[in-house]
Amino acid sequence: MNAFQIGRQHLRQLLSLLVLAVVLLVGCKAEEPDKGPATASISAYNHTADYIHEFYVDGAWGGNSRAYGGGGGFVCCISYPREWRPDLTATVRWSTSSSIPKTFSGETWHELVVPIEYYDKLGSLNVHFLPNHQVRLLIWNGSAGSKGYRGPDAPEKPADWPY
């Protein structure tokens, strides 16, 4: 075998490997790898007359919120699935006391397992504390009351609220 024949043989082997590589690459689906869960900042909206000393969503600290206040402040972070599913819930724990300074009688802890409402886009977690110790959880890329928001507007103080 002369040098020319050896060179052609190496060229054929190289081309065969190249064709095999192309076939393997084309045969594989170009799927995007699983990115894992999304992360959201947490923002509280307090629609009650109580002061919320602190709250947690699935163990993640969410801060505090004055009576009829909230929104605008964000605490990091909670993880959640990138796609909503009907059984999606979170455990919310929070402590409250009266917002009226002279009637403080200590903190009371509350806990609820709350559904995370339907979302079709990733965003922040808005936690709405409602009267009668009810809570709504909404994933949304914006604040309460923004266009398309499915939850309550930001809380407003009653006209006769002294504080």
Token pair of 121, please?
């886009």
Q: Identify whether residues 15 and 50 lie together within a single domain.
A: no
Does any domain span residue 150?
A: no
CA 150 to chain centre: 15
For 5, the domain range is: 1-31
In the chain, pLDDT over 90 holds for what percent of residues? 53
C-alpha to C-alpha distance for 84 and 92, rounded to whole angstroms: 18
Strand pairing category for 124-130 and 108-115: unpaired
Q: Per the domain annotation, does 125 fall within a domain?
A: yes
**Strands of the 108-115 sheet, one edge to the other:** 60-65, 50-57, 89-98, 108-115
**Under 8 Å between Cβ of 115 and 30:** no
pTM over 0.85, yes/no: no
Question: What does the pLDDT read at residue 18?
Answer: 44
